[in-house]
Structure 1
């Protein structure tokens, strides 16, 4: 088994672009679910708003990329209002149902052949990230050059190389900068009077309403803020891949993000950042270990085929699920969550 390759891939996944956009989406979801108690199962829809807002304006209208960012945020604002106005005055489960349905509706609409002229169906929108990459080439170096640390393990003839191309380094710099900015913003705002009211709504909204606070307004603002942070996640994913594919924003993405958030710890800014990093590191580690163990061959016991390369993905997800179950049993607050805060949570 090639442990050097396993370690290299695990470290790259720990700080890679998947961890970046998961962290951004988890920070936004943490505002909604961790702090406000809003069951948003459609964070992928807000990510799609950002990706398509950026892609459509750059590809079809040939306008500045920064206008695309603003338009993507505008799409996210409209979506939050459409979801929140009819549901936030009702029980939390109504919002959960509406958000997961809205995410699927958006995905099916943009991949529909009927709107192929605007969204290009399942092929998506391509070749719009050129200006972003050109900035990186000017500031970092040519995209073909590799960057990253290299170290030798003492006592073992191992050299670990964690390399990224110049284009990837540029995307990671911008992505992690956004993560730090959004994380710092949420950290500060949750220690403001607004954030303390939001926590009070999560614990007992009737008590907060009896004090004269506009519970609906606080819920709506948290839905908007969390959705807009998730919008940046969709933009970073689109800029890294250079395309917007509708199936990149399926309901599975939301549940993976929620899993990473629970792993890190609800109502914890640190947890919403580290959780996705650990999630992707474990996911990549188990995937590479399984592939190395199989070695391109099928594992059989007698005449019974136990596993082949086509079953690695599902087996990997089963293992992640088992690890999550163990986490819920032995550390239900997550890696950085607060058990005392969970004890007074009225959800």
Structure 2
């Protein structure tokens, strides 16, 4: 029982981590590309890396943080224009080839020893060189605290039945939330939104009661960066909701389904695709800035594998949905840590050592993704009708 509690606590810490939130922001941008527009972008990590470099280099060289943020967005904007201009008039396969190649070019340029004074070469830029202006904005104060200090340990001294009952309630509540989100017309608009909000708040409080997380208020990886990261996730989700609910969002879906039909109506398909590429890239740049705040800017940490993680999270949660990218990111990273901790706790070192458990977790996640694509390609929250991609 204690091992299970330890594993679940580790999963909760990973689910709440700022880097999980950062990837969720990048996946929201990828959802605009792939989910709503049908653009096969295999280089989202390049947008993240450019955002991180613009942010970190500016502050490292003495510029204000706001200038670093604008430089990060500017670099992603220019990259999207350069990337999209020669390829968006072609079909999706060409965009996939160009984006993955361009992402590798950005990564290798970042590793170049000729740019050591700017990018730090392969060693990257330490977080201590650019993190202070961000932490200086914190109003959380010093010390540390536990989010929701009242937890399972305060009821019957944390007896096993308390945890088992709580886990059962959590599973039932999550199942109810998924059912409501996928209910379609079974609930009226206002009632459905209110029920979703209540269920989300209840589930978050219940999970924090079962798996309390303690951190510094304003540390390198403390509550301040978590608060900002997850606030940005909510803000980005709301912005995407507004975008895709507008006539422009309907154009994106039209292009995904049949761009020739949209073109026959007199719409500039190339311009709309470029707008989608730029907006999704800006979300990626913002995700990259958040991704490096509790760590460092290291080019190899934002390579091909990170883009594939983004696609895994997107397909898991559900493409062309508002909350699918967020849910998929949380489940992906939490599940990976859960597999890793479970293997470390129950598999002898003679079978799997520490490094091998990390690799094993990726294997299991990869197999799970294959099964999802085969048996539920729309993901947890997705709709099969939203996956008729014209690529």
Q: In 1, are the aligned partners of 2:27 and 2:313 still within 8 Å (CA)?
A: yes
How does 1:263-282 map onto structure 2 within 5 Å? 263-282=316-335
Alignment-derived partner of residue 345 in structure 2:
292
Corresponding position: 1:333 with 2:378: yes
Q: In the alignment, which residue of structure 2 is the partner of 1:199?
A: 253
Corresponding residue to 1:250 among 303, 309, 323: 303
Q: 2:11 touches 2:334 (CA, 8 Å); kept in 1?
A: yes
Q: Write the distance in 1 (CA, Å) between the matches of 2:33 and 2:338.
A: 30
Does the 8 A contact of 1:268 with 1:337 survive in 2?
yes
Unaligned runs of 5+ residues in structure 1 are 300-306
Gapped runs of 5+ residues in structure 2? 164-209
Deviations 1:67-107 (A, max 9, x none): 11011100010000010001001111111111101111111
Distance 1:111 1:132 in 2: 25
Q: 1:162 aligns with which of 190, 213, 223?
A: 213
- State the distance in 1 between where 2:40 and 2:115 align: 30
Determine if contact 1:110/1:119 at 8 Å carries over to the other structure: yes
State the distance in 2 between where 1:164 and 1:335 align.
Answer: 31
Q: How far apart, in 1, do the equivalents of 2:82 and 2:49 lie?
A: 15
What SS is found at the alignment partner of 1:146? strand
Quote the offset at 1:195 in angstroms: 0.6
* Alpha carbons 2:19, 2:290 under 8 Å: kept: no
Q: 3-state DSSP class of the match of 2:382?
A: coil
Q: 1:87, 1:95 within 8 Å by CA — same for their partners in 2?
A: yes
- What is the root-mean-square deviation of aligned Cα atoms in Å? 1.6
Which residue matches 1:131?
133
> How many pairs were matched up?
333
- Cα deviations by residue, 1:49-78 (Å, 9 ceiling, x for unpaired): 111001111011x12101110111000100
Q: Structure 1 residues 218, 203: CA separation in 2 closer, same or farther (over 3 Å shift)?
A: same
What CA deviation, in whole Å up to 9, does each residue of 1:256-305 have, x standing for no partner? Answer: 1111000000101110111101111111100111111236x213xxxxxx
User: Given the two structures, how large is their TM-score scaled by the length of structure 1?
Assistant: 0.92
How far apart are the structure 2 equivalents of 1:2 and 1:346? 47
Q: How does 1:1-347 map to 2 (within 5 A)?
A: 2-60=3-61, 62-126=62-126, 127-136=129-138, 139-142=139-142, 144-150=143-149, 151-152=151-152, 155-156=159-160, 160-167=211-218, 168-241=222-295, 243-294=296-347, 297-299=349-351, 307-342=352-387, 344-347=388-391
TM-score by length of 2: 0.82
Post-superposition shift, 1:146? Answer: 3.4
Distance 1:176 1:165 in 2: 16
CA distance in 2, matches of 1:229, 1:336: 21
- Cα gap change, 1:220/1:22 in structure 2, threshold over 3 Å: closer, same or farther? same
Q: What is the CA-CA distance between 1:19 and the residue it aligns to? A: 1.7
| Aligned equivalents of 1:109, 1:165: Cα separation in 2 | 36
4+ aligned runs moved over 6 Å, structure 1: none
Q: Which has the higher strand share?
A: 1
Q: Specify whether residues 43 and 160 from structure 1 end up closer, same or farther in structure 2 by C-alpha distance, changes over 3 A only.
A: closer
Cα distance in 2 for partners of 1:346, 1:134 equals 47
Q: Distance in 1 between matches of 2:48 and 2:261?
A: 33
Alpha-carbon offset, residue 199 of structure 1: 0.5
1:13-37 Cα shifts (integer Å, max 9, x gaps): 1222222011100000000110010
SS in 2 for 1:268: coil
Q: Decide whether aligned partners of structure 1 residues 99 and 345 sit closer, same or farther in structure 2, where only a CA change above 3 A counts.
A: closer
